[in-house]
Amino acid sequence: QSALTQPPSASGSPGQSVTISCTGTSSDVGGYNYVSWYQQHPGKAPKLMIYEVSKRPSGVPDRFSGSKSGNTASLTVSGLQAEDEADYYCGSYAGSKNYVFGTGTKVTVL
């Protein structure tokens, strides 16, 4: 049950794109199409942004997209906006009804 690996930080100017990686193993990210991404603003609860690798819940802008290759998943935020500045966590089903989160990435809008 080791945490998935994310870069500690990422940044971009308004209008630009930023991509965050999430690296796991064949027992979690690589083994299932149950990768999610969560956005968390300071002092707030996490919010689901992407589920099942690339699906967007209702109400999430299409600027947010997800993908996966092997044991690494990615979240891309296109057309960065000030309100996108937040912490982002990936999460993956890890088998045997266990769940594992990533280490988290702080996204800064320059």
Partner 1 sequence: EVQLVESGGGLVQPGGSLRLSCAASGFTFGSYWMSWVRQAPGKGLEWVANIKQDGSEKYYVDSVKGRFTISRDNAKNSLYLQMNSLRAEDTAVYYCAGGTTTLGYWGQGTLVTVSS
Least distance to partner 1, CB of residue 3, Å = 7
Which residues does 85 contact at the CB level (< 8 Å), separation at least 6? 107, 108, 109
Min dist. Cβ of residue 16 to partner 1 (A): 25
Q: Is 101 in the site for partner 1 (CB under 8 A)?
A: yes
Buried b (16+ CB within 10 A) or exposed e, 9-24: ebebeeeeebebbbbb
| Residue of the chain from 9, 14, 41, 57 that contacts partner 1 (CB under 8 A) | 57
Stretch 14-53: interaction string toward partner 1, x if CB under 8 A: ------------------x-x-x-x-x---xxxxx--xx-
Helix (H, G, I), strand (E, B) or coil at 96: coil
* C-beta of 17 vs 57, nearer to partner 1: 57
In sequence order, which residues have a C-beta less than 8 Å from that of residue 23 and are 6 or more positions away? 4, 5, 6, 29, 71, 72
Looking at the Cβ atoms of 38 and 84, the one nearer to partner 1 is 38
CA 74, CA 72: separation in Å to the nearest integer? 7
Interface with partner 1 (CB under 8 A): 1, 3, 32, 34, 36, 38, 40, 44-48, 51-52, 57, 89, 91, 93, 96-104
